[in-house]
């Protein structure tokens, strides 16, 4: 089998698997009447996603006040909040995407908020580390190096919208953690 055929068949298997997973999405079962408005508010991070210029960057910036607030509450509550935002993000992104009839609508920025919060986990109160986390997260989110780009294309549902930004946040947190460790 030629290399191109192998690559094609692997890609096809991934697409077929994603289609099957998307077809049985638990999100569709959670869609209740009237939930579209709530989902859109969460997906747009309370309207931030409607920024006329660079809504993804606006979403990442909008995560900063949340991080500062959660830092005061302690690491455990911050981690629980991030997991909750990720779960709500999958649900709200799926509902908003379906309602708009678009694949990964630009107004959905809860994925940037979640990814940025993950990137900020390593920063603590260090403002320079927070700035590095922001820049690193946006670089990973915009350029989507491997394996981030693989997550974005697995399926067309809320999980796919969230997954690439969550991994971009993990990569950014690793960069910040490494920078902090090296700068000691």
Q: Which residue has the tokens 């780009």?
A: 149
Q: pLDDT by residue for the chain (184 residues), tens digit each?
A: 454 454 445 455 445 544 444 444 444 444 445 568 899 999 999 999 999 999 999 999 999 999 999 999 988 999 999 999 999 999 999 999 998 888 889 999 999 999 999 999 989 889 999 999 999 999 999 998 898 888 877 777 899 999 999 999 999 999 999 999 998 8
Q: Which long-range contacts (CB under 8 A, 24 or more apart) does 8-15 make?
A: 14/150, 14/153, 14/154, 15/154
CA-to-CA distance for 102 and 84, rounded, in angstroms? Answer: 25
pTM of the predicted protein model: 0.81
């Amino acid at each position: 089998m030629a290399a191109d055929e192998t690559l094609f068949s692997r890609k096809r298997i991934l697409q077929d698997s994603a289609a099957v997973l998307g077809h049985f999405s638990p999100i569709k079962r959670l869609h209740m009447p009237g939930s579209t408005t709530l989902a859109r508010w969460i997906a747009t991070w309370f309207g931030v996603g409607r920024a006329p210029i660079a809504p993804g960057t606006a979403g990442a910036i909008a995560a900063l006040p949340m991080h500062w607030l959660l830092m005061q509450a302690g690491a455990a509550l911050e981690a629980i909040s991030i997991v909750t935002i990720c779960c709500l993000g999958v649900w709200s992104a799926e509902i908003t995407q379906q309602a708009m009839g678009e694949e990964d609508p630009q107004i959905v920025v809860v994925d940037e908020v979640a990814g940025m919060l993950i990137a900020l986990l390593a920063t603590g109160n260090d403002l320079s580390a927070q700035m590095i986390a922001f820049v690193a997260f946006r670089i990973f989110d915009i350029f989507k190096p491997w394996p981030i780009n693989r997550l974005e294309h697995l399926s067309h549902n809320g999980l796919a919208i969230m997954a690439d930004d969550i991994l971009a946040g993990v990569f950014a947190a690793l960069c910040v953690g490494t920078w902090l460790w090296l700068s000691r």
